[in-house]
Each structure stands twice: as structure tokens, then as C-alpha cells.
Amino acid sequence: MEPLASVILGAGHGTRMRSRLPKVLHEIGGLPMLGHVLATARGLGAERRVVVIGSQAPEVGEAARALDEEALVFVQDPPRGTADAVRAGMAGLDGFDGIVLVLYADTPLVTEATLRALGAAIAEGAALAVLGFEPDEPGAYGRLVTGEDGALVRIVEAKDASADELAIGLCNSGVMAIRSDVLREELPRVGNDNAKGEFYLTDLVSLVTGGGGRAAVVTAEESEVLGVNDRAELSVAEGLFQTRARLAAMRAGVTLQDPRSVRFSHDTQIGQDCVIGPSVVFGTGVRLAEGVRVEAFSHLEGCAVETGATVGPFARLRPGAELGPRAKVGNFVEVKKTTLGEGAKVSHLTYLGDAEIGAHANIGAGTITCNYDGYGKFRTKIGAGAFIGSNSALVAPVTVGAGAFVGSGSVVTEDVEADALALGRSRQVQKPGWAASFRSRMEGK
């Protein structure tokens, strides 16, 4: 394919979202919609990634640079239509010669494969290629009028269409590819002689075909070109993303026991032969090696789990959690900024924060690492093969040596030597007959 550049339009006000957050920064799969479009452009190898924003939302430009440090940001002020938005970003294409993709920051689900097909249409001789789709309800979508040879003749807005044109099922998504030289030549000729007084990118089609150039149509599924304008459509887009992610995981060799209840993020990595139980949620930054098992109702974020480890049910892995091969994190266990060595076990009812757990160590139920004193965080180190009894509190900074035992119910405030037994609790005192005497006095009252 010829060299690619992308112009991503994100200047809309998005008032129907009813949000202080700009529309294109609302997330799908844990990534802003703008981030999805930028990632797709990068995946295609686009040499220039131009983002056009509105003056009312400078934070969109800041987000674009944070999501892609090579993004080129330009402002459309005032908003005067899609062609005017592309015109605002043309400086970002100075010196570029190739195919320009015009994308939309609120249309995040268009795939690389579809955009490659658009680019291929240009490589095959078209000056411009438009992405079309056939919705169940064409409604107010612009119609794509094609000739007998299948080439695109013009785009007709629904409000201007005749009855015959309204019967056309092929509609305009807005996404297009165009040769850079054609764009430079024809964009200045787009006028605003319409009811809204705006400059429409769709007018490029008639300008190109009127000048003897060829315009092509590439089609996609309606779900792929969904534009998000409000919270309901955001929910639909999230659902479509999740369906894609689930199918991709299963096709890659992952078992999802109840696919519809599992939630993925845009960057979730799951190895072959993993088994994922019902109602598991993956936040951003999760990597599972091969053969990991995650039981029901677990929440994972910013963590890495190695081969053969098990998580859950009802477990939470927070950012910085790293589980070694065949480690176990059981039910109602929370792990944060903690590494578990190979075969280490934390079976239930435990909090481990800012800790290092050695290979094959065993952490009893009810254990907590007291890692925060209200001002700073401190680390706990537990050596290989150590055994921490139930209901123990390890007050960091503290080290428990390899093979050491900590008695149940202990509060450990000092380092424990390797292979030692630590008891940090009061000696038990027994008073024979006290309970019976107490009951008698109380009942007498």
C-alpha cells in the first residue's frame, strides 16, 4: 500500500452526552474513543496522525498527545462542517504524498482490515473511496448513489433525496480515503451553499467525479461504523467491543465459561489454555500467561499472572500484583504491588500490599500486611517456604526469613530469622469455672 496519513476529526461539542468530559474522551474497553482511532491509525502504519479538535475542548488535544506522542493537533474554530475541519488540519500533511484517511474520533470500531480495503481501492485507481454500510433503517443517513459499474457517483443527503434515492439502502459512514494530491486540489473548492452554511466533506465526491476522477465504495457492517453521540450509543459500542474481544480470546484458545459476563479492556492479554470463569472483570494492563485459571467474580487490573497460577473466586488483583508460576490467590484475597513466587499460596481472606512473597510460602487466612502509616508505604518481605499463621498482622517494614513460622494471631513488628518461630501475642490465661460463675451472676441479676 502507498504511504498513509490520517486526519481524525474530533471537534464536535457532543452535547447529547450531557457530560463535562468531551465526548471523544469517553471510554470503551478502558480506552477513550479517540485512543481507539489513534491506535487503529498506528496499526495501519499511518505516517502522520492529525487530530482536529474544537476550541471548546483543549483537553482533547492534551489527551491526543498523551495517547500518541507523535499526534499532530490542530484547532477548528469556529466549527463550520467536516470539510472545514479537514482544512484546519491540512498543515499537518505538508510534504506528505500518499493516501489520506479521514476518520472520526467518535467512530471507534472501524477495523484495520476495512481501512486497508479503502486504501486498496485508491491503489487500484480510485481518486477517492467512501466507506458505506447498509443499515436496517437508513433514515437520515446520506445515500450513496452508484453507477452501473459500481462506482460512486454522488452522495445525497436524506433531506435532499428524491423518493427513488431514499429507497437506496447503501449509506454513507463519513469515513473516506483520498489521494493527497486530490485532497489538496479539491478541498479548497468545497463551498457552503447549503441550509446550514457549512462546508461538507461529502461534496468532494461530486467534485472528483465531475472532474473525471473515479470514486469507489467499500462496504462494512453497520456495527463497525457506529457513531457515538449519547450514553445509549456508548453502551452499544461497549457491547460491540466486548463481543469482539470475547470472540478473539476464544479463537486464540481461551475458555470463557460464560462469555457474556466477562469484561475485557482494550489491552487485555490472555495466553492459550487459560480458563476464565463467569463475571470476571479485566481492567487495563492485565497479562495472563498460558494455562492460568481465573475463577468467578474476580477483578484484575495492572497485573501479571504466570503459567499455571490460579486466581479467585472473588479475588482482586490490583496494579503491581505479580503472580509466579503455579501461585494461588484464593477467595476474598486482595493483592497490590506484591510479587508471589512460584507455588506461593494465599488461599483466603487476606490483604497483601507492598510485599514480596517467596516461592512456596503459605499465607494463612486473615493475614494482612500493614503497609501504610498514614504518610508512607513500607514493604514486607516473606522468604521462600515461610508459613504465616492465620489472623497475623505483619507491620512493615518487616522481613520474615525463609522457612520461618509465624504463629496464628501474631502481630509481627520485628524481623524474623530464617527457620525461626515468631509469636507476637499474649500468653493464654485460663480460669477454670469462670464462665459458669459469670452466667450464674448474670442470671441472678
Up-side HSE of residue 41: CA atoms within 13 Å toward CB? 35
- Between CA 362 and CA 408 the distance in angstroms is 12
CA 186 and chain centroid, separation: 37
Nine-digit cell string for 83? 470539510
Instruction: Give the orientation angle of helix 33-44 with respect to helix 58-67, to 10 degrees.
Output: 40
Instruction: Write the CB contacts of 25 (distance below 8 Å, at least 6 apart in sequence).
Output: 32, 33, 34, 59, 60, 63
- Provide the phi-psi class of 310: left if phi over 0, else alpha when psi is between -120 and 50, else beta: beta
The Cα-based distances of 320 to 58, 152, 352, 366 in angstroms read 32, 53, 11, 21
Beta strands 99-104; 143-146: pairing state? unpaired
Helix (H, G, I), strand (E, B) or coil at 133: strand
Residue 360 annotated as catalytic: no
The rounded distance, in Å, linking the Cα atoms of 44 and 37 is 11
- DSSP assignment of 217-228 equals EEE--GGGGPPP
Are 105 and 132 in contact by the 8 Å Cβ rule? The answer is: no
The dihedral region occupied by 141, where left means phi > 0, alpha psi between -120 and 50, and beta the remainder, is beta
Catalytic annotation, pick one of 26, 36, 299, 348 = 348
Bridge partners of residue 355, in order along the sequence: 338, 380
Separation CA 358–CA 340 (nearest Å):
6
Pick from 30, 26, 24, 20: nearest CA to 10: 24
| Residue (of 199, 200, 205) closest to 144 by Cα position | 205
- Residues tagged active-site: 348
